[in-house]
Structure 1
Amino acid sequence: MLMMIMNMLIFIFIMFMLGNMIFVSKHKHLLIVLMSLEFIVLSIFFLLLLYLSMIYFNLYMLMVFLVFSVCEGALGLSILVSMIRTHGNDYFQSFNLI
């Protein structure tokens, strides 16, 4: 049982690190950045699920976390749609902050 939990923790850590590496390295398109953020949120969700099930805690906190992550995803998609409508693409290079 302990070996299975350790394997799951290693898998979740690898997911988290891969999401962070994609977030840092792929900064050309907004869509890739948003998908890497969702991948990071998914790995954190798995970590919370594992932790809360290990301590036999109520899983209500997972529902709150999912609500916030869905709101974050909807906000990111609305920014993406707004950027595509105003600039025609999702390149960060064509987006001028000045």
Structure 2
Amino acid sequence: MLSFFIFLSGVLSLILVRKHFLLSLLSLEFVILSIFFFMYYFFYFCFFDFFFGVVFLVLGVCEGVLGLSLIVFLFRSSDNCYVDNLVLC
């Protein structure tokens, strides 16, 4: 139940800050973490196999690294050094 509440709060924060890249990535990582907690409890009570959880965490880290690399590319391609310019209009 707690992981579902964390998931919904992460999705709500993603909807509310959808115009800012860095906060959107942080919200996505929060959603990935809540899904991982749900999977951990599910596998703990049902299957006792945590290998899929490790694979899911690796994919979540890859998603975060890809998002951060896109932000760095956007930051370096623009001639401005201000993080506030990373907001979509």
Instruction: Name the CA distance, whole Å, in 1 between partners of 2:10 and 2:2.
Output: 12
Higher relative contact order (CA 8 A, sep 6+): 2
Percent identity between the two aligned chains: 38
SS of equivalent residue, structure 1 residue 58 = coil
Instruction: Name the CA distance, whole Å, in 1 between partners of 2:49 and 2:5.
Output: 26
Specify the alignment match of 1:57 in structure 2.
48
Size of the alignment, in residue pairs? 84
User: Who wins on radius of gyration, i.e. which is larger?
Assistant: 1
Query: Please, what TM-score do these two structures have when normalized by structure 2?
Result: 0.87
Instruction: Name the CA distance, whole Å, in 2 between partners of 1:28 and 1:86.
Output: 19
Specify the alignment match of 1:74 in structure 2.
65
Query: Please, what TM-score do these two structures have when normalized by structure 1?
Result: 0.80
Instruction: Name the CA distance, whole Å, in 1 between partners of 2:33 and 2:23.
Output: 15
Code of the residue aligned with 1:92 in structure 2: it is L
Gaps of 5+ in 1: 1-9, 94-98
Instruction: Name the CA distance, whole Å, in 2 between partners of 1:72 and 1:43.
Output: 15
Shift, 1:28, TM fit: 2.5
SS of equivalent residue, structure 1 residue 79 = helix
Deviation above 4 Å: which 4+ runs of structure 1?
none
